[in-house]
Amino acid sequence: MGVFNTLSDTVFAPLETARRNIKATVEMAEIAHILSVGNGVAQVAGFTDLHADELVAFPQGVMGIAANLQKGRIGVIVLGETDQLRPGDRLRRTGRVVDVPVGQALLGRIVDGLGRPLDGGGPIEADDRLPVERPAPPIMHRAPVDVPLQTGIKAIDAAIPIGRGQRELILGDRQTGKTTIAVDTILNQTDGDVISVYCAIGQRASAVAQVIASLRNHGALDRTIVMVAGGDDAPGLQFIAPYAAMTMAEYFMAQGRDVLIVFDDLTRHARAYRELSLLLRRPPGREAYPGDIFYIHSRLLERATHLRDEHGGGSLTALPVVETQAQNISAYIPTNLISITDGQVYLSPDLFEKGQLPAIDIGQSVSRVGGKVQRPAFRAVAGSLRLMYAQFEELETFARFGTQLDEETRRKLTRGQRVREVLKQHEHHHLDVPAQIAVLLAATEGLFDQIAPDDLADAQGVVQEAVRQQKPDLCDDMAKGKELTPDDRAGLIATMRDALNPDQNEATDGNA
């Protein structure tokens, strides 16, 4: 008996104590089960009440979006891997839509389409959580786009100016430098007040790693949110990624900040949505895309705008990237996005092969905001650049027939060739506004006409240095947006001419 009592005290007594401490709780949840699953989509049944686009929770922590509400079954877009999900597994309602964290803590972080960190930097202490699908600001809340967003790229800032709050499409064939232009624009905001968001959709991991390395090496990552939905991720994550990135950017715009967002690229986003729509048995249309393919991009890009001061005064500039095939800009997705956006920067593979980098085709590129967002000094210098360059290209084509050319035509050809060389620019080599104005003024006024094309790079450096050293006050005025008076223009030209012809100046001083 003693042994039995001892055993009861040591074994059964703790169990009895634990039993008394157990408190029964009732958790109510609406449960359904999986009918079939695969390729990023699940068919489920069992819910008696469910809202469109509501978030549902699968086992293993996987989430999904209720996309197709049909009698007897529901099509769910799975936001994660489906390898661990099986028919018969249970899922439950969450009662909320897809939302993501927003706030200052996201700057410098790398996250996925649901805002979960991918950089190993620990959890994100968000200021709030906001839904990824939000209505665009009403028309009456919007202000005109009149402040420039400097890219640091001469060809864009001079001929295709972009304003804060504008939507400018970047399109071209594969490997023509589309991502480079977008990343260079982000890097040029490092010393300014613009916050950047880079959203990679369907990209290779190596390509995304190169972009992140460039941002980190140039000190831009601390002011940038990087969202990654790679090509190996579920199509559902690729689909919601741009909307989630836009929500994160809108949070800063609502606080009166200026934000730049890059979608790289929306061609892969459209393909991911096409894949999901076909798996959900939605009727296919042109090129097998669903009928609402235009709407998924228009409702995204319509959220980019410039707000009036009474509504915060912030701006959200969008640079969507789209890939063309065989220079066909009249394909379905490119024409959709051209009609949605406020202009496009077209990169030509022919120019790329000729070494004209960045390979921007000025003739097929346009900014529908135009010179309204250029600083007055910039507009005075670059206002006629597009027309002059177009005339030069026509003359160059005509001159290939070998006909005899008069002196005026030869002069225009020489100057056009120098302008084309001046518009070349190395990757990650950004120029501020005074330097761009100086170089473009020298090219359009003919100061580079007697310089060999191979020596133009050195001549541009000489001109920029001379203007900075001898006209510092004028440089400050141009950077602040003041007009370039005729006397200022003449003084700039004289300073640059003296810097390019030092021997002639010494001879003149000696004769004096």
Give me the chain's average pLDDT, please.
89
* From 129, 204, 281, 368, the catalytic residue: 368
Alpha-carbon gap, residue 135 to 302, rounded angstroms:
9
Give per-residue pLDDT as tens, 363-386: 899 998 877 888 888 888 887 788
pLDDT at 26 (0 to 100): 57
Alpha-carbon gap, residue 320 to 328, rounded angstroms:
17
pLDDT at 6 (0 to 100): 58
Give per-residue pLDDT as tens, 192-202: 889 999 999 99
Binned at pLDDT 50, 70 and 90, residue 510 comes out as very low
Binned at pLDDT 50, 70 and 90, residue 321 comes out as very high
368 has catalytic annotation: yes
Binned at pLDDT 50, 70 and 90, residue 507 comes out as very low
Whether 501 shows a pLDDT value over 90: the answer reads no
pLDDT at 12 (0 to 100): 66
pLDDT at 206 (0 to 100): 93
Give per-residue pLDDT as tens, 137-156: 999 999 999 999 999 999 99
Binned at pLDDT 50, 70 and 90, residue 508 comes out as very low
Alpha-carbon gap, residue 320 to 266, rounded angstroms:
7
Whether 244 shows a pLDDT value over 90: the answer reads yes
Whether 334 shows a pLDDT value over 90: the answer reads yes
Q: Are 169 and 322 a contacting pair, CB within 8 Å?
A: yes
Q: Are 447 and 455 a contacting pair, CB within 8 Å?
A: no
Least-confidence region, from 105-109, 368-372, 476-480: 368-372
First-to-last C-alpha distance (Å) of the chain: 128
Whether 5 shows a pLDDT value over 70: the answer reads no
Top mean-pLDDT range of 7-11, 299-303, 488-492: 299-303
- Helix/strand/coil for 457: helix
The stretch 329-345 carries a mean pLDDT of: 95
The CA-atom distances, in angstroms, between 182 and each of 211, 258, 297, 340 are 10, 16, 19, 19
Least Cα distance to 266 among 284, 288, 292, 293 occurs for: 293
Q: Reduce the secondary structure of 148-170 to three states and give it as a string.
A: ECCCCCHHHHHHCCCECCCECEE
Binned at pLDDT 50, 70 and 90, residue 61 comes out as confident
pLDDT at 304 (0 to 100): 96
Least-confidence region, from 104-113, 207-216, 275-284, 402-411: 402-411
Binned at pLDDT 50, 70 and 90, residue 504 comes out as low
Give per-residue pLDDT as tens, 427-446: 888 899 999 999 998 888 88
The stretch 85-90 carries a mean pLDDT of: 92
pLDDT at 142 (0 to 100): 95
Whether 105 shows a pLDDT value over 80: the answer reads yes
pLDDT at 9 (0 to 100): 61
Burial class (CB in 10 A: 0-12, 13-18, 19+), 401: exposed
User: Percentage of residues in the chain with pLDDT exceeding 90?
Assistant: 58
pLDDT at 306 (0 to 100): 96
Least Cα distance to 369 among 88, 144, 150, 194 occurs for: 144
